[in-house]
Chain A
Amino acid sequence: MEQFFFHTVAGLVVLTVLECLAILVPLLMAVAYLVYGERKVLGAIQLRKGPNTVGPFGLFQTFADAIKMLTKETVIPSGANRALYLLAPFLTFVLAMIAWAVIPTNNGWAIANINVGVLYLFAVSSLGVYGILIAGWASNSKYAFLGGLRSAAQMVSYEVSLGLVIVSILLVVGSLNLNDIILAQRHVWFCLPMLPMFVIFFISALAETNRAPFDLPEGESELVAGFFVEYSSLAFGLFFLGEYMNMILMSAMTSILFLGGWLAPFNIAPFTWVPGPIWLILKILFVLFMFIWVRATFPRYRYDQLMRLGWKVFLPFSLVWMVLTAGFLMATGMLPVGSANGVG
């Protein structure tokens, strides 16, 4: 048995497929309950009940919505570019899933524990814009096109500061491996010494996932629904799933880079009894709650304000902070030089 799974190609393929399922099936369930949770939290913040009819406490509301959505007719606009129009939602959905291959859920537990994990995550999250841009263009509709263009400009802008934040983390850790980044936070989570970067990363993550207050690409009040205005049925559902999976992914990224990933908050007895994956899930839930909290609290940004914030506030600030971090590490001799595979 062990011989088959660990030493033959077929066995390794079977094992990897099982690992993928072990990540993706809970992830899809998590999306369903994230939607439910979001509506409940929004309801509580706005002094309403939220969904409470389908199933006990409305727990099956999302599934009812999903069934309704899947039974709708798939409409392809006559002027649309068919191939690209259908490609876009799949692209969004697939990109939201493949990023999970490198997320470590416990010490060394990841489908692929690769050396350049952070870069991989960053690359996948920067590709997310294509789904939106292609959807906007292929729909052959004014609103969708405007939404797509807005989204492209917005995501490219915020990626820059996101990248600089990641670079300052890497300076401290000295490795691109996600597991090493978590292990480097054994003594103190990066959200404390790097608090300003944590704030910038969180806000940029909101912009990357097109969440309120940066949801200009969909902007209901001006663009109807933005880039997916022409989509219906399954295609719309894939966009929807992709968007929420991206939210969870960004929360996981925030947890790993700043909140110590699967590490317990304190390295003492009652905390260390709880297994690592539970801590990671709790942290992801905390960040997700903040996503929803922000949505309920802040009004949508105007487009020029969004650009101003990205280029004139976040970019210079994160650049200066990165130089300061490097300078501080150099001055105190803490620069992790020569530790290719882990922190000293």
Chain B
Amino acid sequence: MITQITFYLFATILVLCAGMVVSARNPVHAVLFLILGFFNAAGLFLIAGAEFLAMILVIVYVGAVAVLFLFVVMMLDVNFNQLREGLQRYAPVGAAIGVALLAELIFTVGRLKLVPGVQEPTLPGPQISNTEALGRLIYTDYVLLFQACGLVLLVAMIGAIVLTLRDRPSARRQNISLQHARLPADTMEMMQLEVGAGTDALGGFIRPRDGYGATAEPIDARALPARRSDEKLGA
């Protein structure tokens, strides 16, 4: 009785949230409704006794994926009315995906088999926690498919990195090992000045010979008139 009430509660909120994700005017609200939807899906998993899947759903989708969604949506200046103009054009694609998902759902729920001879996985007994049951299934019968999923994700990850990796020469990067390897002799020069003579007697200021990725040769101070102390004072 209580289980049924909670099921219909979660299911109703889930469907409402799914509707709001599509129809919400504010993109940030849409993402927040998506998150609420995830929570309700996790609740449904819990009712079905799949506590491992419920927690993983919350950790992966709510804790990581949706955070990045929200992150991007908050920063983008999305004009939703503009997006709606393309609705007519993209509707067939969306409908096709929807039909494919619906077909998958019907196959699963109706236990229809397209390939003959495939055995249904045997359900483990109640003495095994569903974390372990899932682990046994994934790492034995379906290990190849599981590894293939991992490879697909790896390719997606490498793709994302390649797309966003730009070598900007203007970026100032910190090289910590270079900083640690720096010696006083590389950066400082001790000078003996006569009293009242000023640095010009020694040929002006000499800048560090080897800065962070700067030119290795010493810079002639006289080539940089703006840095000379007397001219600065005069100006």
Contact = CB atoms under 8 A, between A and B. Distances in A.
User: Real complex partners, A and B?
Assistant: yes
Interface of A: 9, 84, 114-116, 119-120, 122-123, 126-127, 129-130, 133-134, 137, 145, 148-149, 152-153, 155-156, 159, 163, 176, 304-305, 308, 340-341
Contact of B71 (A115, A153, A163, A176): A153
Interface in B54-78: 55-56, 58-59, 62-64, 67-68, 70-71, 74-75
A9 B1 CA distance: 12
Contacts of A304: 174
Contacts of A340: 127-129, 132
A122 B129 CA distance: 19
B131 A115 contact: yes
A258 B128 CA distance: 26
A116 B52 contact: yes
A115 B51 contact: yes
Given A137-B74, A152-B67, 6 more contacts: A115-B52, A123-B55, A127-B62, A133-B74, A153-B71, A176-B52
Contacts of B68: 152, 156
B18 interface: no
Nearest to B57: A123
Contacts of A163: 59
Contacts of A114: 51
Given A137-B28, A176-B131, A340-B128, A116 B55 contact: yes
- Chain A interface, DSSP helix/strand/loop, else mixed: helix
Contacts of A152: 67-68, 70-71
A336 B65 CA distance: 32
B35 interface: yes
Contacts of B174: 304-305, 308
B74 A130 contact: no
Contacts of A9: 2
Nearest to A174: B132
Given A149-B71, A152-B67, A304-B174, A116 B59 contact: no
8 contacts: A84-B28, A115-B52, A115-B129, A122-B55, A126-B59, A130-B35, A133-B67, A304-B174
A123 B63 contact: yes
Contacts of B67: 129-130, 133, 152, 155-156
B129 A119 contact: no
A170 to B, nearest CB: 10
B51 A123 contact: no
Nearest to B28: A137
Contacts, number: 74
A64 B74 CA distance: 38
Contacts of B28: 84, 137
Interface in B38-64: 51-52, 55-56, 58-59, 62-64
B49 to A, nearest CB: 11
Contacts of B32: 84, 134
Contacts of B74: 133, 137, 145, 148-149
Interface of B: 2, 28, 32, 35, 51-52, 55-56, 58-59, 62-64, 67-68, 70-71, 74-75, 127-129, 131-132, 174
A123 B70 contact: no
A240 to B, nearest CB: 23
Given A126-B64, A149-B75, A305-B174, A119 B127 contact: no
A70 B59 CA distance: 34
Nearest to A152: B71
Contacts of B62: 123, 126-127
A156 B70 contact: no
Contacts of A156: 64, 67-68
Nearest to B56: A119
A57 to B, nearest CB: 41
B161 to A, nearest CB: 12
A176 B52 CA distance: 10
Nearest to A129: B67
Given A133-B71, A149-B71, A153-B71, A159 B63 contact: yes
Contacts of B129: 115, 176, 340-341
Contacts of A133: 67, 70-71, 74
A52 to B, nearest CB: 42
A26 to B, nearest CB: 27
B58 A127 contact: yes
A120 B131 CA distance: 13
A123 B132 contact: no
Contacts of A115: 51-52, 129, 131
A122 B59 contact: yes
Contacts of B52: 115-116, 119, 176
Nearest to B127: A340
A123 B59 contact: yes
Nearest to A341: B129
Best-buried of A123, A129, A308 by chain B (most CB within 10 Å): A123
A342 B12 CA distance: 37
A162 B56 CA distance: 15
Contacts of A120: 55
A92 B54 CA distance: 21
A322 B75 CA distance: 35
Contacts of A119: 52, 55-56, 59
Question: A-B pairs with the 7 shortest C-beta distances?
Answer: A126-B63, A119-B55, A123-B58, A123-B59, A340-B129, A340-B132, A116-B51
